[in-house]
Amino acid sequence: MTDTGTKAPRYFALIPAAGVGARMAAASPKQYLLLNGVPMLRHTVNAFLRSELIAHTFVVVSQDDGYIDGVLPAQGVTVLACGGATRMDSILNGLRALRERIADEDLVLVHDAARPGLTPALIRKLIEEVGSNPAGGLLALPVVDTVKSTRGGEVMTTPRDGLWLAQTPQMFPYALLVRALGAASDPAAITDDASAIEALGMSPQLVEGHPRNLKVTLPSDLGIAEMYLKQDLT
């Protein structure tokens, strides 16, 4: 590891893209579906390539990925063919593969491949508002609808005050994120990277995101994503 001394930390993007998106029921993994004629993953990567704050972008794919060739540009992004069985495995494998390229204090922005509506402005907002918070932070949306719960077998209204919907990127110091994911004893309990940080007793900062940064999960999400992508936002 190169000693960065007192240099300011750098920002790196890490995009896990080894999943198959089973709920999309498509012929290819959902990250390669076309949105306005462009593969979803390329839209996602482009947001980081357009941000002057990101030093480099890494994409984690499975070893047998047969779609990635030709999807990404030749410069500014590196493909890591070390995807694992779960999203957490893919992220941890990617982080470990970068051990000699990223300093402990550098910040890693982990972002879902299926969130193509990210913009450089949202990236900047996350970086600026989290600042030097040692617990890092993430984009999220405050809950605005009435929330119902069926836990216990009865329908109950749950107060929405203080409830947020997590988005990505989720940004943490490299060493902290490796430690948090590596210490997770129950991968099923780690629903996002922030939950691994929380398991260490730390409290990541929430930064208000934007609805355009939705995660494409179901076929009905494709049209919504295309609508947002037609808006040329920076």
Query: Which pLDDT score is estimated for 189?
Result: 78
Domains and CATH numbers, the chain: 11-229 (3.90.550.10)
Residue type for 180, please?
A: A
Three-state SS for 21? coil
The string of pLDDT tens digits covering residues 30-44 is: 999 999 999 999 999
Token couple for 182: 């590596």
Query: Which pLDDT score is estimated for 188?
Result: 75
Cα 65–chain centre separation? 20
Query: Which pLDDT score is estimated for 24?
Result: 64
Residue type for 226, please?
A: E
* Nearest-angstrom CA–CA distance, 157 and 155: 7
- Give the model's confidence band at 25: pLDDT under 50 very low, under 70 low, under 90 confident, else very high: low
**pTM, to two decimals:** 0.93
The string of pLDDT tens digits covering residues 97-144 is: 999 999 999 999 999 999 999 999 999 999 999 999 999 999 999 999
Any idea what DSSP says for residue 27? S
The string of pLDDT tens digits covering residues 10-23 is: 999 999 999 765 56
Whether 232 shows a pLDDT value over 60: the answer reads: yes
Query: Which pLDDT score is estimated for 1?
Result: 47
Helix locations, the chain, DSSP H: 40-49, 87-97, 120-130, 174-182, 193-199, 219-229
- Give the model's confidence band at 175: pLDDT under 50 very low, under 70 low, under 90 confident, else very high: very high
Query: Which pLDDT score is estimated for 22?
Result: 55
Cis peptide before 73 (omega within 30 of 0): no
The string of pLDDT tens digits covering residues 143-160 is: 999 999 998 889 999 999
Mean pLDDT of 198-217: 97
The count of other CB atoms within 10 Å of the CB of residue 224 is 15
Token couple for 46: 């482009």
